[in-house]
Amino acid sequence: MHVCCASSQDNSQVSERSSATRFRMLMPVQVDARWQIVEDSEKRLRLRRVMRTKNFTKALELFQRVGQVAEAEGHHPDLHLEGWNNVSIELWTHARNGLSENDFIVAAKFDDIDLADLLSKRQPEL
């Protein structure tokens, strides 16, 4: 089982998109292909996944489930609810100002959460 390590440990930042793609392939954990490596407005890399829930309350429940895992790991994502049922999760290591191994570990743990009862059958295109 992989666990997040404290930001002060050797956990290098991924700073270029090509490096991020290589980094992703070399990770000890594999994350769902729906996680995308994106840049924010300040050119920092993040892992992002977008999902569509059945309704507004299911979106809030999704936040609760993700939040429980995030709290247990001590690694907290940015959670966004757009419209009434479009959820996005963004992971990045604040102390590193970009992606680190911890982000991929937590993404894999989020992938293990059973969300079938919350998600719409029609999911956003990648």
Overall pTM surpassing 0.75 (yes/no): yes
How far, in Å, CA of 91 to CA of 97, rounded?
11
* The residue to which tokens 């992938």 are assigned: 111
C-beta of residue 78 within 8 angstroms of C-beta of residue 106: no
The CATH number that domain 17-111 falls under is 3.30.1360.20
pLDDT along the chain (126 residues), means of 10: 52 55 65 88 94 98 99 97 97 92 93 97 85
Q: Which amino acid, 105?
A: I
Give the pLDDT of residue 25.
Answer: 67
What ranges do the domains of the chain cover? 17-111
72 vs 1, 6, 57, CA distance in Å? 14, 13, 23
C-beta of residue 53 within 8 angstroms of C-beta of residue 85: yes
